[in-house]
Each structure stands twice: as C-alpha cells, then as structure tokens.
Amino acid sequence: MKILVCISNVPDTTSKINFTDGDTKFDTNGVQFVINPNDEFGLTRAMWFKEKQGATVHIATVGEASVEPTMRKALAIGADEGIRVNALPTDGFFVAQQLAEVVKNGNYDLIIAGRESIDYNGGMVPGMLATLLDMNFVNTCIDLQIEGTNATAVREIDGGKETIATSLPLVIGGQKGLVEESDLRIPNMRGIMMARKKQLNVVEPVETNHGTTDVKFDKPAPKGAVKLVDTVDELVDLLHNEAKVL
C-alpha cells in the first residue's frame, strides 16, 4: 500500500499574530511554524500502517522553501519521502489542484489529509481533492482499518459516529481520534539524522487559476475591561442594571 499524507505548515497556536501592508498580508516574523495538528494525527496513523502492514509513506506540501523544516520533521517521524510543490498556498482550491497532480503522478492507494488546517480553517481541501481525483472520500475520520483493498472507516457526525465500508483508492479527512494525542510521535535523534538523508523532491506547480484573493485581515475585537465585585448583591445589581441579562 502506498500512502500520501498531505501536510500543512501552520503557525503554532501560541504565536502572536500580526499583519502587514495595510492588514493584507500575514506577518511571519517571529512566528514558529509546526505540522498542522489534524495532519499530524493522519501522519501517525500512516506510520501505523507502515509498521503493521509494510506501507510506503510519502508526504506532500504546497509551499515555498520556508516549509522544509516542517517537512523534515515529518520525515524524522518516519515518512519515507517528501514532495514539495514550489508555490505559495493562496487558497484551498489551488492547494487541492496541486496535490491532485502529485497523487496522479505517484499512483497512491490512500491519501490522508487533515480535516482542516488551524490557520484558515477552510475544511475544503480533502473533499476537493477527492472530487478532482474521482476517489472515495470519508471526512471527519476518527478510525481507519484496511485489509487488502477494502477499508472500514469511522467518522464523527452530529450526535454520534458512523461506520462506513469503502475501498481503495481513498481520500480521508482525518482528525483527533484517528490516533490519540498520546500516540503522537516526537522525532528522536536517530530519526532527525535519517531525515537529512531522505529524498525531498521539489516540483513546480501546474498552471491554474487562483479562485480567491485575500482582501484584508481583521483581528478579533479586544476584550473589554473586567469589573471585580465583592458581594453577591453588587453582582446582581450589575447584571440587572448594566449588563441587562436579568
């Protein structure tokens, strides 16, 4: 089985976010980038298939050279080979088109993408990718078992879970539950050293139209001042006369 794990390079959630050029561009200065958490769950599941079933695991990212440290971390975790599409990921459809070309050229059986990235939270790439490739698709996937070309997936739905029987080739949008947080792997020294020798291929993007353009970014409104009260009577008075929620 040949697996492709789609990796997003996203800001660490503890990073302070700022914008430049009149709030039209994201300021990357001082920002630490990491593997998108949903993608990390998918990568760990792919490693399970590698160890238990002898699968080959490749990773793919759409991004400029600055994303390579994140890709090297994924290689250090255990992926066999990396592919970087040399383009700025401007929108979800553009990313899906580039990844679809990678899949077509690589003849993959299983494509694991995160349900969504934690920067733009678009949640569109896995579904678009499956449509472009005309492959089976399971989103919000929290468990995946494969025997031969048959797959059994469990996905999260409103109020419960749904078990689906499907077949390869398959695209999934994974999330927490695909593996548990305790199963996530930290690269060890041996993995880091081996990652330096693993192949990281750079390919040029296919020609396509960009579907969207960022016009402006806005930060959430700052939190208001906090009032401290000493008595229950004072709290009730403020809720009734000022907040008007009673």
Listed in order, strand segments (DSSP E) in 7-63 are 9-11, 19-20, 25-26, 33-35, 56-62
**For 85-100, what is each residue's pLDDT tens digit?**
999 998 999 999 999 9
**For 100-157, what is each residue's pLDDT tens digit?**
999 999 999 999 999 999 888 889 999 999 999 999 999 999 999 999 999 999 999 9
Q: What pLDDT is stored for residue 143 in this prediction?
A: 97
Q: Looking at the domain assignment, is residue 173 inside a domain?
A: yes
Q: Looking at the domain assignment, is residue 235 inside a domain?
A: no
**What's the CATH number where 198 sits?**
3.40.50.620
Q: Looking at the domain assignment, is residue 155 inside a domain?
A: yes
Q: Looking at the domain assignment, is residue 237 inside a domain?
A: no
Count of beta carbons in the 10 Å neighbourhood of residue 82? 22
Number of structural domains, the chain?
1
Q: Looking at the domain assignment, is residue 89 inside a domain?
A: yes
Q: Looking at the domain assignment, is residue 109 inside a domain?
A: yes
Quick check: 219 pLDDT over 80?
yes
Q: Which residues contact 228 (CB under 8 A, 6 or more apart)?
A: none
d(Cα 110, Cα 19) in Å, to the nearest integer? Answer: 37
Q: Which domain holds residue 146?
A: 2-217
Please say whether the dihedral angle defined by the alpha carbons of residues 41, 87, 13 and 200, taken in this order, is positive or negative.
positive
Half-sphere exposure of 52 (CA within 13 A, CB side): 10
Can you count the helices (H) and strands (E) in the chain? Answer: 6, 13
Instruction: Tell me the whole-structure pTM to 2 decimals.
Output: 0.88
Q: Looking at the domain assignment, is residue 107 inside a domain?
A: yes
Q: Looking at the domain assignment, is residue 200 inside a domain?
A: yes
Q: Scanning the structure block, which residue is given the tokens 């250090």? A: 76
Residue 209: is it exposed, middle or buried by C-beta count within 10 angstroms (0-12/13-18/19+)?
A: exposed
